[in-house]
Amino acid sequence: MKTSSRLLALLFASALSVIAQNTPSAVSAPTLPPAAPATAPRPPLLVSPEVTADRSVTFRFKSANAKAVTLRGQWAKDPLALTRSDDGLWSVATTVAPGVWEYSFTMDGISIIDPANPAIKPMREPRTSILHIPDASPAPWDFQDVPHGTVHQHTYLSKALGRPREVWIYTPPGYEKSASTNYPLLVLQHGSGDNQQTWVAHGHAHWILDSLIAAGKARPMVVVMLDGHPFTPTGMRDGAGRGSAPMDAFRRELFEDAIPLVEATYRVEADVSQRGIVGLSMGGGQSLTVGLGHLNRFAWIGSFSGVPPEEAVAQTVLADAANTNAKLRLLWIGCGADDFLLKRNEEFVGKLKAAGVNHEWHRTAGNHSWPVWRGYLADFLPRVFQPASVAASPK
């Protein structure tokens, strides 16, 4: 009996010991994960360009290591030097006239875009930022409270080139509301440094069209903007894009891919009297060569600071002025007095005049730049797809 009591006592003591060993102390603290390091404060947002109501514009550029920073703007002849503050912020303030301008910074001799400005001119080699200052009395390229059209983006496999390509297409206000209306078709081409996006993003062609259509100055139309560079930079470097090859490839892609895509997707008039082509610089040369070379396809042709057409096309047009005039509704050519292509345009216009080919020649102020070409487009659009009496009268 005594032995059993002693055994029970030993077992009870052992159990208490096990419980004590496996029970955490009431005063012990739980183990916590290490605290996360403090987050560094986000630097203040850099605003550039900053435009005030009096059109004073402040440009800013952040670099603690730069030795010199300058601003080159399309609105001014000479660059402006930026001043550095103690925290490495460079800035300069200036007054800029209304318009859509290109500008860039030069840092220690290297030209760069404004890193704080998301508005970049679409180019094959992007190197300029965009500053848009609307006029108090809106210009056609300023945004206005009028009905607006739609810009469509299409990517397709080019049969002519055998690779993916892209085209932008504008449809006028009200296009989606009427399924029975067909529209004239205008091909609008960019210059050699640009691409199919530039007439919209920088030229504001869609706003120009919107404002002129709303004012009753231009007919509603469908506009196709094709990438005018049929060859890749590698192809150009390897010689594939030299001579007449780029023009031939552009022509084939336009006729075999771009226009068929438009005709299959959008409501456009098929008659040649409702087809036109116009472009600037390289695109002006494409418009003159392809347009004058295919008067069975285009009756309205325009060139803004363009390269004269290929010689074979020019000779055909000049040799039979009567046939040319019978098919051509409008040949509109413009070039600035300070443009490096002025002499070549004047020589071509002189040949047209001597041969008796009907045309309009516009020698204006300005150089080889977008402020000139926006104005040309605003002048050209009211002239196209109009009755013969309107199109034939000189401006």
Architecture of the domain spanning 50-133: Sandwich (2.60)
Residue 315 and residue 282 in contact, taking contact as beta carbons nearer than 8 Å: no
Q: Measured between alpha carbons, how far is 306 from 277 in angstroms, rounded to an integer? A: 13
CA distance linking residue 375 with residue 217, whole number of Å? 14
Return d(Cα 274, Cα 381) in angstroms, integer.
13
> 3.40.50.1820, 3.30.497.10, 2.60.40.10, 3.40.640.10: which CATH number matches 150-392?
3.40.50.1820
What pLDDT is recorded for position 178? 84
Going by C-alpha positions, the residue among 286, 315, 308 that lies closest to residue 298 is 286
What does the pLDDT read at residue 6? 52
Strand 69-73 and strand 56-62: pairing?
A: unpaired
Evaluate whether 50-133 and 150-392 have a shared fold. no
Decide if 184 contacts 224 (C-beta within 8 A). no
Q: Indicate the pTM of the whole model.
A: 0.87
DSSP summary character for residue 249? H
Provide the residue ranges of all domains of the chain, joining segments of one domain with +. Answer: 50-133, 150-392
| Predicted confidence (pLDDT) per residue in 29-57, tens digit | 556 666 666 666 777 789 999 999 888 99
Which residue ranges in the chain fall short of pLDDT 70?
1-40, 233-242, 389-395
Question: What is the structure's pLDDT at 55?
Answer: 87
The CA distance from 307 to 280, in Å, is 9
CB atoms near residue 35 (< 10 Å): 6
Written as one string, the DSSP assignment of 115-162 is TT---B---SS---EEEEE--SS--TTS--SS---EEEEEEEE-TTTS
Backbone region of residue 365 per phi and psi (left: phi > 0; alpha: psi in -120 to 50; beta: other values) = beta
| Coil/strand/helix, residue 23 | coil
The pLDDT of residue 232: 80
